[in-house]
Structure formats: C-alpha cells, structure tokens
Amino acid sequence: MLLTRAHAWIRSAAVCRILWAMGGPWRILAFLLWMIPFPLRDLGYVLVGKVRYRLFGKHAQCRLPSAAERALFLE
C-alpha cells in the first residue's frame, strides 16, 4: 500500500506510482505497466506475490544498510 496526501494506492497501482516517483527509465516501465488493464495488472501482482520466495529467495533476517546507504534515508 502506498499512502499519499490524497490517495491510498494498493497492489499494482502502488507499484506503478512508486516506479513513476523513482523517475528516469522507471517512469517508462510505470507507464507501460499502467497501460495494462487493471484486472490483468493485479493478477500479475498476485501471481508474483505467490512465487516471490522462489524468484528472490527467503532470508532469516533483513540486511542492514551500510553507513553510506543510511545517509540516503530521511530521519
């Protein structure tokens, strides 16, 4: 879920909005995904969610950011 001041975006719509906010070539991907009809986009979101551990692996703990990466976060 992505919360903005005016909207709450869920599933594939949230992914598209996040990609758009990242800018650069990610905006092209966001635009292309947005052109896919909503029900098909959300179906893809659900299917990737079901196989995400097979695709990306599962870890026992989260990786901590390095000092350089921590500087990029807002406090």
Predicted confidence (pLDDT) per residue in 22-69, tens digit: 999 999 999 999 999 999 999 999 999 999 999 988 888 988 999 999
pLDDT at 6: 85
Alpha-carbon radius of gyration of the chain: 15
pLDDT in the model for residue 25: 94
The reported pLDDT for the residue numbered 9 is 87
CA distance 11 to 44: 10
pLDDT at 63: 86
Asked if residue 9 lies in contact with residue 17, where contact means CB atoms within 8 angstroms, the answer is yes
C-alpha–C-alpha distance, residues 1 and 23, integer Å? 19
**What's residue 3's pLDDT?**
85
Closest CA to 1 of 14, 19, 20: 14
The pLDDT assigned to 50 comes to 95
